[in-house]
């Protein structure tokens, strides 16, 4: 896991000063080493977290003939197989790293090389002969990549502060991005908060040269493609694919472990890891005292498999300090309260390991969220007849500990105009901020509404596609990447292996949601891997007690400041007229998060 940076074009004055400034902003992503390479028309930079081939994987790395140079972030889990294929084509290798395999794959297969990779990645390759840049990002966006046009050229980096360190990139906010944050609490994967900064969407690649400029093209999308298959066959095939994915994601030359919440997803990953390991797997859990404590379930899994289990009870937290720290770590406003426990468990795990596997992606691919059964049950029914039943069912399903009251009022508020299309119902469920708060933006901007990653067909598959294509990359994977990399910890998600993901997308949702039960196919495939206590365990999201936090004096002090007349937040949202005290809702937490980010966005320190 690393940080990458590149600048291209004719205006690259200052020698290596600019690219080094960019790399310095990525030091937390790669504390083990750094490098820059100055080429004609392109400067490449790299900050390295050493995982594979500790001695031979330094970057930027040239091809054997020095035509191609790469700066690479991520892991290619099938690099040994690809290496063998490339050797059959006559390639020889100087190192044991996957980086050199990526470079040779591009030289051999060109842009189509991305279809051969099984892994998470964001990389930039410069062709010195054609003076052309090629960048690519993995299927779901596990690894970030941003770009901006600069002085007749282009700048590329793993994080926005590194990109803006290149200079010449304005900091004007994007109205569409602000509106998206107010709706969702995060930036969707095709937008950023800045007008001048773009993100390379998941499953896309980018090319640039001085004559044609930037071109962005998709090579993969999370598109459901249901095919006939029975439950027994699907469960058997899923189990095989998961075993392969977990086994190849355990390759590392550094200590490796797993997050273990005691939920179905992380428990499945830990079970399959331990089956493939001759040593006890190191596992890590976190608790908030009596408020959120999943340790009994995690302990049951750890005991069943004899893992080397480690627990962190964070107890009383300096929440006021942590919310400010999160505003620095997350380069854009980000409201998901679980970023704090994710940051803390990552910091804890980093004391023992350098790599952690997780269960991320399981809910989106297997239909695991608690509101899915009700949405599926309403498929094709009249909103006028069912709106009350749907609202009641959803508010009950969503009534887990922290978002329940917010979601209940939200759902009841839209019930009378409940959309017919399931994906639009899903978008409504995910929209937090009421229209009144966003009115100024809608009046001055063209307006923004979440759109599905594929044209809506009007069936429940679009709900799953929405969460896999928008929520997963925009919220879940951003949360984990920034929280873990702030602690120089690499995370891996076996459920997002391309073979696993494509198989899951080929399954009809009726194998995922069955008789009101979520994750039916995963249960059928892996039920015997779990202790009995997990079999009937209800869904518990990995959240945080933000209503309690909002009432703390240190947090209330921040809230009063960011909402005061003349503050950055009030200037951004002139229609916002808060009455004190504000309710301890998720909407209030979102405003706090946005206000703190606005305060610090121009003067956040180098991490």
125 beta partners = 70, 134
- The Cβ of residue 603 has, within 10 Å, a number of other Cβ atoms equal to 7
Rounded CA-CA distance 307/303 in Å is 7
Could you tell me the two tokens for 292?
A: 């959120």
> pLDDT at residue 81 above 90?
yes
Give the three-state DSSP class for 30: coil
pLDDT 10s digits, 98-129: 999 999 999 999 999 999 999 999 999 999 99
Tell me which of 319 and 515 has the higher pLDDT. 319
135 beta partners = 124, 206
- The per-residue pLDDT for 107 is 97
Q: How far is CA 233 from each of CA 242, 268, 368, 496, 526, rounded to the nearest angstrom?
A: 14, 19, 20, 21, 13
Active site annotation includes 174: no
- The per-residue pLDDT for 318 is 93
E runs forming strands in 85-222 = 119-127, 132-137, 146-150, 153-157, 198-199, 204-209, 213-218
Which among 576, 578, 587, 580 is positioned nearest to 546, based on CA atoms? 587
DSSP class of residue 57 equals -
72 beta partners = 123
Q: Per CATH, the architecture of 2-173+188-218 is what? A: 4-Layer Sandwich (3.60)
- The whole-model pTM stands at 0.91
- The per-residue pLDDT for 35 is 94
Which among 227, 224, 171 is positioned nearest to 197, based on CA atoms? 171
Residue 547: pLDDT band with limits 50, 70, 90? very high
Residue 447: pLDDT band with limits 50, 70, 90? low
Rounded CA-CA distance 73/2 in Å is 5
**DSSP sequence for 133-164:** EEEEE-SS-SS--EEEEETTEEEEESSHHHHH
- The per-residue pLDDT for 412 is 39
Give the three-state DSSP class for 334: coil
Average of per-residue pLDDT across 411-427: 57
Rounded CA-CA distance 517/509 in Å is 12
- The per-residue pLDDT for 70 is 98
- The per-residue pLDDT for 4 is 98
Query: Annotated catalytic residue: which of 2, 113, 135, 526?
Result: 2
Cβ–Cβ under 8 Å, residues 361 and 502: no
Rounded CA-CA distance 390/393 in Å is 5
Q: How far is CA 513 from each of CA 235, 451, 466, 521, rounded to the nearest angstrom?
A: 14, 23, 16, 8
- The per-residue pLDDT for 452 is 58
Question: For the chain, what percentages of helix, strand and coil (3-state, to nearest 5) are there?
Answer: 45, 15, 40
Which among 585, 496, 474, 511 is positioned nearest to 185, based on CA atoms? 474
What are the residues whose beta carbons fall under 8 Å from the beta carbon of 289, sequence distance 6 or more? 313, 314, 315
Q: Per CATH, the architecture of 231-366+465-535 is what? A: 3-Layer(aba) Sandwich (3.40)
pLDDT 10s digits, 428-442: 666 777 666 666 666
* 151 CB-contact burial (10 Å; exposed 0-12 / middle 13-18 / buried 19+): middle
Rounded CA-CA distance 379/560 in Å is 44
> Most confidently modeled of 12-26, 361-375, 555-569?
555-569
Give the three-state DSSP class for 257: strand
Sign of CA dihedral 517, 479, 7, 40: negative
Q: For the chain, give the longest Cα–Cα distance.
A: 71
What are the residues whose beta carbons fall under 8 Å from the beta carbon of 380, sequence distance 6 or more? none
> pLDDT at residue 194 above 90?
yes
Residue 519: pLDDT band with limits 50, 70, 90? very high
**DSSP sequence for 216-250:** EEES-----------HHHHHHHHHHHHHHHHHHTT
Residue 374: pLDDT band with limits 50, 70, 90? confident
- The per-residue pLDDT for 437 is 66
Q: Return left, alpha or beta for 134; rule: phi > 0 is left, psi -120 to 50 is alpha, else beta.
A: beta
Q: Where are the alpha helices (DSSP H) in 330-418?
A: 339-350, 362-366, 372-377, 383-397, 404-414
**DSSP sequence for 409-429:** HHHHHHGGG--SSHHHHHHHH
pLDDT 10s digits, 9-61: 866 666 789 999 999 999 999 999 899 999 999 999 999 988 877 777 889 99
* 553 CB-contact burial (10 Å; exposed 0-12 / middle 13-18 / buried 19+): exposed
Using only the alpha carbons of the chain, give its radius of gyration.
24
Rounded CA-CA distance 200/156 in Å is 10
Which residue is listed with tokens 């596990």? 142
- The Cβ of residue 401 has, within 10 Å, a number of other Cβ atoms equal to 13
Rounded CA-CA distance 315/579 in Å is 31
Which among 135, 137, 159 is positioned nearest to 146, based on CA atoms? 159
Domains of the chain: which residue ranges? 2-173+188-218, 231-366+465-535, 372-461, 546-600
Which residue is listed with tokens 């010449």? 168
Residue 418: pLDDT band with limits 50, 70, 90? low
Cβ–Cβ under 8 Å, residues 389 and 373: no
Rounded CA-CA distance 411/390 in Å is 9
Rounded CA-CA distance 479/188 in Å is 13
pLDDT 10s digits, 156-175: 999 999 999 999 899 999 98
b/e sequence 575-586, b meaning 16+ C-beta within 10 Å: eeebeeebebbb
Tell me which of 223 and 310 has the higher pLDDT. 310
DSSP class of residue 344 equals H
Which among 172, 171, 181 is positioned nearest to 437, based on CA atoms? 181
- The Cβ of residue 325 has, within 10 Å, a number of other Cβ atoms equal to 16
């Amino acid at each position: 896991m690393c940080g990458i940076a590149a600048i291209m074009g004719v205006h690259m004055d200052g020698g290596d000063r600019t690219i080094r400034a960019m790399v310095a902003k990525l030091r937390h992503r790669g504390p083990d080493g750094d490098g820059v390479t100055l080429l004609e028309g392109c400067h490449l930079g790299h900050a390295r977290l050493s995982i594979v081939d500790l001695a031979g994987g330094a970057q930027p790395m040239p091809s054997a003939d020095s035509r191609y140079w790469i700066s690479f972030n991520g892991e290619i889990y099938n690099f040994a197989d690809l290496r063998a294929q490339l050797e059959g084509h006559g390639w020889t290798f100087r190192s044991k790293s996957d980086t050199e395999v990526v470079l040779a794959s591009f030289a051999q297969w060109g842009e189509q090389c991305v279809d051969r990779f099984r892994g998470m990645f964001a990389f930039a390759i410069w062709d010195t002969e054609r003076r052309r840049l090629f960048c690519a990002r993995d299927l779901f966006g596990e690894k970030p990549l941003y770009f901006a046009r600069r002085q007749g050229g282009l700048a590329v980096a793993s994080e926005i502060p590194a990109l803006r360190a290149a200079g010449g990139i304005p900091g004007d906010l994007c109205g569409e991005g602000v509106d998206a944050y107010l709706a969702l609490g995060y930036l969707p994967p095709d937008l950023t908060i800045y007008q001048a900064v773009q993100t390379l969407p998941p499953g896309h690649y980018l090319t640039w040269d001085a004559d044609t400029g930037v071109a962005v093209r998709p090579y993969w999308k999370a598109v459901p493609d249901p095919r006939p298959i029975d439950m027994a066959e699907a469960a058997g095939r899923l189990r095989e694919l998961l075993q392969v994915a977990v086994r190849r994601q355990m390759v590392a030359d550094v200590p490796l472990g797993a997050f273990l919440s005691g939920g179905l997803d992380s428990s499945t990953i830990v079970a399959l890891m331990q089956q493939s390991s001759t040593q006890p797997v190191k596992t890590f859990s976190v608790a908030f005292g009596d408020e959120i404590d999943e340790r009994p379930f995690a302990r049951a899994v750890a005991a069943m498999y004899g893992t080397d289990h480690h627990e962190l009870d964070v107890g009383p937290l300096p929440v006021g300090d942590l919310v400010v720290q999160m505003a620095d770590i997350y380069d854009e406003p980000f409201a998901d309260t679980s970023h704090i426990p994710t940051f803390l468990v990552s910091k804890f795990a980093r004391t023992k390991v350098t790599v952690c596997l997780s269960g991320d992606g399981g809910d989106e691919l297997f239909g695991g969220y608690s509101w899915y059964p009700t949405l599926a049950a309403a498929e094709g029914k009249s909103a006028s007849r069912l709106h009350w039943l749907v609202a009641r069912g959803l508010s009950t399903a969503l009534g887990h500990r922290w978002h329940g009251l917010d979601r209940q009022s939200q759902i009841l508020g839209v019930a009378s105009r409940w959309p017919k299309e399931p994906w639009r119902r899903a978008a409504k469920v995910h929209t937090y901020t009421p229209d009144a708060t966003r009115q100024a933006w809608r009046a001055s901007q063209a307006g923004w509404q979440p759109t599905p990653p594929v044209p809506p067909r009007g069936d429940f598959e679009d709900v799953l596609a929405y969460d896999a294509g928008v929520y997963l990359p925009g919220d879940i994977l951003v949360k984990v990447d920034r929280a873990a990399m702030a602690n120089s910890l690499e995370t891996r998600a076996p459920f997002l292996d391309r073979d696993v993901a494509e198989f899951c997308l080929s399954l009809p949702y009726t194998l995922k949601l069955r008789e009101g039960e979520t994750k039916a196919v995963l249960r059928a495939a892996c039920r015997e891997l779990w202790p009995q206590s997990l079999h009937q365990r209800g869904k518990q999201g990995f959240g945080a007690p933000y209503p309690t936090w909002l009432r703390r004096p240190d947090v209330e002090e921040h809230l009063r400041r960011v909402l005061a007349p003349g503050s950055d937040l009030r200037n951004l949202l002139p229609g916002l007229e808060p009455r004190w005290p504000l309710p301890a809702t998720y909407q209030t937490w979102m405003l706090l998060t946005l206000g703190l980010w606005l305060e610090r966005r121009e003067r956040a320190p180098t991490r």
